[in-house]
Amino acid sequence: MNYTSSSPVELATFAGGCFWCMVKPFDQLPGIMKVVSGYSGGHTEHPTYQEVKTQTTGHYEVVQITYDPSLFSYAQLLELYWPQIDPTDDGGQFQDRGPSYRAAIFYHTAEQRELAEASRTAIAASGRFGDQPIVTEILPAAPFYPAEDYHQDYYKKSPDHYKEDRLQSGRDEFIDQHWKS
């Protein structure tokens, strides 16, 4: 994407299970400068994928989005984020289980926190998930560590494996059932 705006940029950080599946929905939209897969929220500095997948570092798999809020607002990012996840699942997301695959919103500013909390409240009030509680956490931004190169833009680098993994995960079926209406 050729980005030419002179507006200041901001960061948004979202956890939604496997970061491979969280890049494509945000990638290549107006005002989105880059989407980087990585790790956040843990206690180990510069963790590797091998360390994070042991579920002992405390990290979430996340995507960190650099965006121009004059072209794509944080509220729009939240509207795009929620339908990518099961906000009632605190044990991971879809076929990916364990703490590193939990859903969470990491806010970078007080405004992001307010918007994230309001959006979570609205989803809970919508009745979309019946009486199941919305358990997606809203947390202060923590140090972000980019994942290894082979994880970046995985849907572009390995499109067949990405499609197969996404199909097997049950993510798209869940999205169709709970978010398409």
pLDDT in tens, 140-154: 999 999 999 999 999
pLDDT score at 4 = 52
Selected catalytic residue, list 12, 15, 18, 21 = 18
| pLDDT score recorded for residue 6 | 62
At 44-88, the pLDDT tens digits run 999 999 999 999 999 999 999 999 999 999 999 999 999 999 999
Q: Is the dihedral of CA 72, 75, 79, 81 positive or negative?
A: positive
Residue pointed to by tokens 């918007």: 115
Please tell me the pTM assigned to this model: 0.93
Active site residue 21: no
CB 69 within 8 A of CB 26: no
Which residues, listed in sequence order, are joined to residue 39 by a DSSP beta bridge? 61, 145
Query: What stretches of the chain show up as alpha helix (H) in DSSP?
Result: 20-23, 49-52, 74-81, 110-126, 154-157, 159-169, 171-178
Q: What is the pLDDT of residue 180?
A: 82
Amino acid at residue number 87: P
Q: Which CATH architecture group holds 10-178?
A: 2-Layer Sandwich (3.30)
Beta carbons within 10 angstroms of residue 92's beta carbon: 18
The predicted structure's pLDDT at residue 28? 84
Structure tokens at 153: 């833009």
4-13, 94-103, 153-162: least confidently modelled range: 4-13
Residue ranges per structural domain of the chain: 10-178
Residue linked to tokens 């499609």: 163
More confident residue, 74 or 6: 74
